[in-house]
Amino acid sequence: MTTAAVRPPLERPRLAVLGGVCAGLAAHLLWPVRTVRILFGALVLLSGAGILLYVWLWALTPLERPVDAPAPVSRRVPVAAVLVTAAATAVFVELGAALSSREPVTVAAVAAAIVFSGGSVAWSLVFDAADPTRSIRYGVFVRTAATFLLLFAGLVGLLSRSTAASAVLSMLAIILAVAVLGAPRLVTLWTSLLAERAARVRQDQRAEIAAHLHDSVLQTLALIQTRAGSASEVARIARAQERELRDWLFADDVPSETDVAAELREIAAAIELDYSVRIDVVTTGVAVPTVSAALVGAAREAMLNAARHAGGDVAVYVESTAARIDVFIRDRGPGVDLATLPDDRLGIRESIVGRMTRAGGTATVRAGEGGGTEVHLGLERTDD
Amino acid sequence: MTSVLLVDDHSIFRSGLRSDLDAALEVLGEAATVDEAVALIEALRPEVVLLDVHLPGGSGGGGAEVIARSASLLGTVRFLALSVSDSAEDVVGVIRAGARGYITKGSSGAQVSAAVLAVADGDAVFSPRLAGFVLDAFGAVAGERAETSEELDRLSVREQEVMRLIARGFSYKEVAAELFISVKTVETHVSAVLRKLQLSSRHELTVWAQQRKLL
């Protein structure tokens, strides 16, 4: 066994302790995580170099790509709560400093309280809001606590015999407290506004493209079809192109679940590519999931027969209700007579009639009024 | 001779259609915008106007606007909507404005000519797709049916049968033979359905048209 280990790319895992920097770095360097953590801890002691390096790596290392669905990022350390605790400590220090009139300590403590409370609120709004392991209640608690701490820090700073610096900082703390109260609302408003604008721009662009193509390319394709005659190669290609373009232009963004009608339409499109035939599929009723492979298979065989032996225009009509599905395939060919059909024509006898009978449905083939053949497939729907 | 006015904003399409049309049709003129069309209809008084659903000009209403602005002539001038098989919303829009039928631009010259002649005779022209749409929108597939002939929001049993056969690709003649009735009667039924389509206030008509694309 060769041990030419391939280095995994430098990525931060989605389930992280704090930022996932250590775990990601360890995985990339093929070192134990503990070693990396100790190294960072040691670096922190070098006048905070570890923190700088950590933040730098955090900012520049990409998140691990999700395997299938976009997965949320979870962090194990409750950073917001830690920051609130730090803010509370700063407020206590401030209170003590204010009572003993140590002015520089008061200023520093107010500043610390502002930074820690603001940090906790920012963390709670930016990171915890997207983290499913953090409850909404936790976020509310963090923000409420931060608001109170800010207010308290501000009032203490103002009421103590304050210098200009501490008065300004205290006012700032009070203003921030008010802002924090309104912050969640503003953030949600802002993000939903951005999302909505992006969606609208996308939709507008799409509509514009659709309108343009509709006015130019589709018209040309329609013209080619009429001028080239429905049976010719050119018309066939033009029709296939038209169908493809139309599907793209008018299809909804959400993929529709496969139903019988959509499936038959697809089959018709495929047959049109191979034979000089125009198949018009008209569907009515409710969309039903593909209940029976036999029905679709028999309909396909009937359409193929029509394409092979009749060509020209073929009409397919699908009517589906909650109780049953009926499919009619009508062509304008020379027509067939089941009684005079040679036994070796397996198509109709086996693939259509036999198949439907085995599936518990009916299939009738008859000469249409005014020439051509009409195949009628019927199937009662049984819900299982 | 049946006189025809071609209204389509694509000159290539107009000239192509013009050369494909039956010899029994006389093309009086061509128009490319809503305003041009309205003026020409007023001046030329054609029997049938072949009208594209999407047209530039006017107040942006397209084919339906042309019909609405020529409403005083609806008794003498008949409109046949022509479209590159559009969304149901557009098609139902022109039909409700007063068009006597709807065909797709993919139809051959012979098919268009036959449709024009039918419309000139006062008949309604339904493509299989439009028939399918009507069946759905009037709840025929779900089993609703009109009890009296005055009812505008549902189809009678006979009208449903006729619409089903048209949706299955039958011509009027074939429908008549299938149902053992005269072609005249078939035409009467189709006209009745067209009237319902134009006059009905059925809620599903508009909702349905908005939601689904008539591909």
Chain segment B57-75, per-residue pLDDT in tens: 878 778 888 888 888 887 7
Q: Identify whether residues B119 and B148 lie together within a single domain.
A: no
Yes or no, beta carbons of A280 and B129 under 8 Å apart:
yes
B41 and B69 Cβ atoms separated by less than 8 Å:
no
Give the whole-angstrom CA distance, residue B105 versus residue B14: 11
Amino acid identity for residue A338 in this structure: L
Q: What is the pLDDT of residues A226-245, one digit of tens each?
A: 777 666 778 778 888 887 88
Q: Identify whether residues B89 and B69 lie together within a single domain.
A: yes
Residue B180 sits at the chain A interface (C-beta within 8 Å)? no
Q: Identify whether residues B58 and B21 lie together within a single domain.
A: yes
Residue B153 sits at the chain A interface (C-beta within 8 Å)? no
Taking all residues of chain A, what is their mean pLDDT, rounded to a whole number? 80
Question: What is the reported pLDDT for A255?
Answer: 47
Last-in-domain residue among B124, B139, B166: B124
Question: What is the reported pLDDT for A46?
Answer: 83
Q: Identify whether residues B8 and B102 lie together within a single domain.
A: yes
Is residue A63 exposed (0-12), middle (13-18) or buried (19+ Cβ within 10 Å)?
Answer: middle
Which residues in chain B touch residue A283, judged by CB atoms under 8 angstroms apart?
A: 132
Give the whole-angstrom CA distance, residue A380 versus residue A362: 9
User: Which of A:10-49 have CB within 8 Å of B?
Assistant: none
Question: What is the reported pLDDT for A79?
Answer: 84
B105 and A222 Cβ atoms separated by less than 8 Å:
yes
Strands A324-330 and A373-380, sheet pairing: antiparallel
Q: What is the CATH number of the domain that holds B35?
A: 3.40.50.2300
Show the tokens assigned to B194: 């067209």
Q: Identify whether residues B166 and B108 lie together within a single domain.
A: no
Q: Identify whether residues B55 and B105 lie together within a single domain.
A: yes
Per-residue confidence at A258, pLDDT binned at 50, 70, 90? low
Q: Identify whether residues B4 and B58 lie together within a single domain.
A: yes
Strand order in the sheet with B78-83: B25-31, B2-7, B48-52, B78-83, B102-104
Show the tokens assigned to B150: 């005055």
CA distance A226 to chain B (A): 5
The helix or strand, by DSSP H or E, that contains position B104, with its residue range, turns out to be: strand B102-104
C-alpha dihedral, A351 to A355 to A357 to A362, nearest 10°: -70
The CA distances from residue B126 to A50, B100, B115, B194, in Å, are 78, 9, 9, 9
Domain count, chain B: 2
**Residue of A92, A156, A91, A93 whose CA lies nearest to A117:** A91
Q: What percent of chain A has pLDDT over 70?
A: 88
Yes or no, beta carbons of A330 and B143 under 8 Å apart:
no
Q: 3-state SS of chain A: helix, strand, coil percent to 5?
A: 60, 10, 25
- Give the mutation candidate from A226, A243, A254, A313 for the B interface (greatest B CB count, under 10 A): A226
Show the tokens assigned to B211: 């939601």
The SS3 assignment for A360 reads coil
Region A99-107: mean pLDDT is: 78
**What domain range is B191 assigned to?**
126-215
Last-in-domain residue among B101, B124, B147: B124
Yes or no, beta carbons of B106 and A317 under 8 Å apart:
no
Q: Identify whether residues B40 and B19 lie together within a single domain.
A: yes
Question: What is the reported pLDDT for B4?
Answer: 92
CA distance B137 to chain A (A): 9
Q: Identify whether residues B110 and B141 lie together within a single domain.
A: no
Last-in-domain residue among B73, B94, B124: B124
Question: What is the reported pLDDT for B5?
Answer: 92
The CA distances from residue A306 to A155, A296, A327, A377, B4, in Å, are 88, 15, 14, 15, 36
Q: Identify whether residues B83 and B161 lie together within a single domain.
A: no
Q: How many other CB atoms sit within 10 Å of the CB of residue A84?
A: 26
Question: What is the reported pLDDT for A69?
Answer: 64
Q: In the predicted model, is pLDDT for residue A35 greater than 70? A: yes
Per-residue confidence at A254, pLDDT binned at 50, 70, 90? very low
More confident residue, A376 or A9: A376
For B39, list phi and psi in degrees, rounded to 5. -65, -45
Yes or no, beta carbons of B106 and A226 under 8 Å apart:
yes
Q: What is the pLDDT of residues B114-151, one digit of tens each?
A: 889 888 888 888 888 888 888 888 877 777 777 776 67
CA distance A230 to chain B (A): 8
Region A319-328: mean pLDDT is: 85
Per-residue confidence at A262, pLDDT binned at 50, 70, 90? confident
Yes or no, beta carbons of B177 and A321 under 8 Å apart:
no
Residue A285 sits at the chain B interface (C-beta within 8 Å)? yes
Q: Identify whether residues B81 and B158 lie together within a single domain.
A: no
pTM, two decimal places: 0.61
Give me the domains of chain A, ranges plus CATH numbers.
15-197 (no CATH), 256-380 (3.30.565.10)
Q: What is the pLDDT of residues A61-77, one digit of tens each?
A: 888 777 666 677 778 88
Question: What is the reported pLDDT for A340?
Answer: 61
Region A315-324: mean pLDDT is: 86
Per-residue confidence at B48, pLDDT binned at 50, 70, 90? very high
Question: What is the reported pLDDT for B14?
Answer: 86
Residue A222 sits at the chain B interface (C-beta within 8 Å)? yes
Residue B161 sits at the chain A interface (C-beta within 8 Å)? no
Q: Rg of chain B's alpha carbons, rounded to an integer?
A: 17
Give the whole-angstrom CA distance, residue B203 versus residue A85: 61
Question: What is the reported pLDDT for A217?
Answer: 81
Question: What is the reported pLDDT for A148?
Answer: 86
Region B102-108: mean pLDDT is: 79
Q: Identify whether residues B91 and B2 lie together within a single domain.
A: yes
In chain A, beta strands by DSSP E: 15-16, 74-75, 277-285, 312-320, 324-330, 362-367, 373-380
CA distance A320 to chain B (A): 8
Residue A330 sits at the chain B interface (C-beta within 8 Å)? yes
ipTM computed for the complex: 0.81
Q: What is the CATH number of the domain that holds B198?
A: 1.10.10.10
Region A303-331: mean pLDDT is: 85
Yes or no, beta carbons of A282 and B131 under 8 Å apart:
yes
Yes or no, beta carbons of A284 and B10 under 8 Å apart:
no
Nearest CB neighbour to B168, from listed A226, A242, A328:
A328
Give the whole-angstrom CA distance, residue A345 versus residue B50: 46
Q: In the predicted model, is pLDDT for residue B95 greater than 70? A: yes
The CA distances from residue B17 to B49, B104, B114, in Å, are 13, 12, 13
Q: Which residue of B has its CA nearest to A244?
A: B215
The end-to-end CA distance of chain A, in Å, is 53
Region A282-304: mean pLDDT is: 81
CA distance A353 to chain B (A): 20
Question: What is the reported pLDDT for B181?
Answer: 92
Yes or no, beta carbons of B170 and A246 under 8 Å apart:
no
Q: In the predicted model, is pLDDT for residue A342 greater than 70? A: no
Per-residue confidence at B180, pLDDT binned at 50, 70, 90? very high
